[in-house]
Amino acid sequence: MFTKPFMGLGFGFLGFFALEGSLQAQPNQPTTTITADGGVGVTPTVTDPQPTPPNNTTVDGGVGTTPTASVPQNANPETPPRPPPPTPAQLRGRYALPWVMRPAIAPILFRQESSIAAQNASLTNTMLFTGGSNFKSLRPDLGIYGRFGVIFEAPNTGTGGVAVSNPLIFMLYTPAVARVLRIPVFFGITLPIGSGGGNTPVASERSTVAAGVYSRQAMDNALFATNYLTITGGVGLAWVDKGATVQLDLTVLQLFRVRGEAVDSDATRTNFTSGLSVGYQIVQPLTVSVEAHYQHWLSTPAAVAANEALRNQFTIGGGVRGNIPLSDTVLARPGIAFFAGLDAPMWDRGYKIVQLDLPIAF
């Protein structure tokens, strides 16, 4: 009597399992979604069964699908733009221009320097003007320049004076022998037409020109020997890399008297100067540097024979210089420096020198 109910129950379970198997055997069916523009679209299916992610409302009001965490996001952020390359003016600023030594580059140049020297007996201001150009289309590392000075002296007692120095015409050849190394070569000649020359010089002019020697730390003697034609030549070595500069200069000056034998007894004189400069561009607009100079008479002029302390002179100092691009190719480099003598005669006379410098390179 229980046979039929059990049979019916058994067939019911068999039918349920058969229906479930048929549903699992069917492939995934596409689902209908509302697109962002309000139309009806078909969501494509995938071959592997995936759980249906929950729906969410998109920003524009449609119904979208929230991606699961396992789906990678193929974002392609843009590469940040590279900074522009430095301009010629900015590149020139990486070289630490010396204060008294000659440069190791040969640009188109105008430069005005004022060396204000205070000592026990007087105050002297020597203003130097330098200008010239390289052979830009042929040899940008070869230039020709001219330089002269105007000297103002105000002694503690007596009358002051104003004088003009000899002009100097010189050539500068600054080849790069390696990426970071230059060998500047220098050759120049002075014309003996400055103030205070001849056999009957104006006394105030002669003393004023003489005061210019130590205001320039005895490194520019040819400018102030106004009775002498001077031939000068020198060589240097400059290492410039990543804003750092180390430069060495050696120079020989041969003086020939062409007038004023009544006041200058030496027919010839031979002088030697040297300098060492170390500088660093600490930031793009600012360079600091220190500089040492040594001057030595190779011959024995009458003044040295009378006072051996005048044979040589050692000075040291340093300063800070701006690097101000006026255009992509023009650079102004104003600066201020302080120098002092470390031995006689400048030490004994209490020399303290402030140098103001305004070079503009094109």
- Beta carbons of 51 and 70 less than 8 angstroms apart: no
Task: Give me the half-sphere count of Cα atoms (radius 13 Å) on the Cβ side of residue 180.
Answer: 8
**pLDDT class for 358, splitting at 50, 70, 90?**
very high
Q: What's the whole-number average pLDDT of the chain? A: 85
Determine what percent of the chain is predicted with pLDDT higher than 70: 79
pLDDT value of residue 42: 37
Has residue 109 been placed in a domain? yes
Tokens in use for 135? 């052979």
Check residue 216 and give its pLDDT.
Answer: 98
What's this model's pTM, rounded to 2 decimal places? 0.77
Q: Does residue 337 contact residue 99 with C-beta atoms inside 8 Å?
A: yes
**C-alpha span between 249 and 102 (Å, rounded):** 8
- Domain with residue 320: its CATH number is 2.40.160.40
- 191 is a domain residue: yes
| Within-domain flag for 249 | yes
Q: Is the dihedral of CA 15, 17, 18, 24 positive or negative?
A: positive
Number of domains in the chain: 1
Residue 84 three-state SS: coil
CA distance 274 to 218: 11
**Is 171 a member of any domain?**
yes
Q: Decide: residue 274, CB within 10 A, 0-12 exposed, 13-18 middle, 19+ buried.
A: middle
Strand partners, 161: 153
The whole-number pLDDT of residue 158 equals 86
Which domain does 293 fall in, by range?
Answer: 88-361
Q: Compute the average pLDDT of residues 324-342.
A: 97
Q: Which two tokens stand for residue 226?
A: 């106004």
Cross-strand bridge partners of residue 142? 173
Q: What residue has token string 């000056």?
A: 253
Q: Residue 49 pLDDT > 90, yes or no?
A: no
Residue 37 lies in a domain: no
Q: Is residue 288 part of a domain?
A: yes
Q: Is residue 205 part of a domain?
A: yes
Report in angstroms the alpha-carbon separations of 201 from 214, 264, 269: 21, 11, 20
Cα 312 from chain centroid (whole Å):
32
pLDDT at 212: 97
Residue 322 pLDDT > 50: yes
Asked if the structure places residue 16 within a domain, the reply is no
Tokens 């105050």 -> residue: 123
User: Cα(320)–Cα(281) distance, rounded to whole angstroms?
Assistant: 10
